[in-house]
Amino acid sequence: MVTTSVPTAPTATAQQTLGKAAQWSGVGLHSGQSVEVTLKPSPANTGRQFVRLDLERQPVIPAQIDAVQSTQLATELVANGASVRTVEHLLAALAIAGIDNVTIEITGSEVPVLDGSAQPWLEGIQRVGVVPQEIPRPAVILKEPVTIYEGAAFVSAIPAPELRLTYGIDFPYAAIGRQWCSFTPSELAVAVAPARTFGFAEQVEYLRSQGLIQGGSLENALVCSVSGWVNPPLRFADEPVRHKLLDLWGDLALLGTPPIAHYVAYRASHHLHTQLARAIAQQMV
């Protein structure tokens, strides 16, 4: 049976995959290169994995924490002599939709940014539906609390009766300032998936000189300046912190099924997100 709505991971006890294949195309946020992505159903216990169609032998890159190579402004995975970058929005969408097993065929080295959020991915998944599989999804409980600090920033996972994500940010821009949000996974499809990536006008020239954000535009990212938002309106008054929470969930998806816990992050980054995931993975062995 194919489900036509997008379920959330905690409500499903069986593993799930897509009802049929779905395709997207767009440009990479950092590379600026055009790329196509096709999501295809996969058997139970396959997990989420990328396949580089543009490379000889079409190497497979598992979406697992052990494959993380770089976390500079995005999460990059490397395996079998190949890489794929900026995976976090797509992985967040798959986690929100409860997709455990999927083959992600991609024709380049960076996942397209689309509109800067996870919403287009979720909408495509909703169109093709979600299929329950015969194998149960593992229920993983966090054994011990984990906290990782980096200056004033930190990430933490705390044993809890239900899974919750809480995030805080603090930027020296009046339009953003200090923001906090907190949601359960069942709320993410509506409250977090539409939140777009954001950046700062004063940093654009420097980042582009470093070979970054080559595909960034006012159509796929919110841009803030000392004077305010360059391209309003926002989808949420606190859209920046909601997007950071989306990034966190995408990075935690590299665990496969993140343990039931309360995840708390403050002024964190992909580096801290993935460090937390690595520490949790040690408990899951």
Catalytic residues: 270
- Helices assigned H by DSSP within 48-151: 88-97, 119-128
CB atoms closer than 10 angstroms to residue 238: 17
Residue 236 has phi, psi (to 5 degrees) of -140, 150
Specify the amino acid at residue 11. T
Number of alpha carbons in the 13 Å side-chain half-sphere of residue 138: 12
User: Do residues 103 and 49 touch, judged by C-beta distance below 8 A?
Assistant: yes
**What whole-number distance in Å separates Cα of residue 270 and Cα of residue 207?**
17
Could you say which DSSP state residue 28 is in?
B
User: Do residues 83 and 137 touch, judged by C-beta distance below 8 A?
Assistant: no
Q: How many residues would you count in the chain?
A: 285
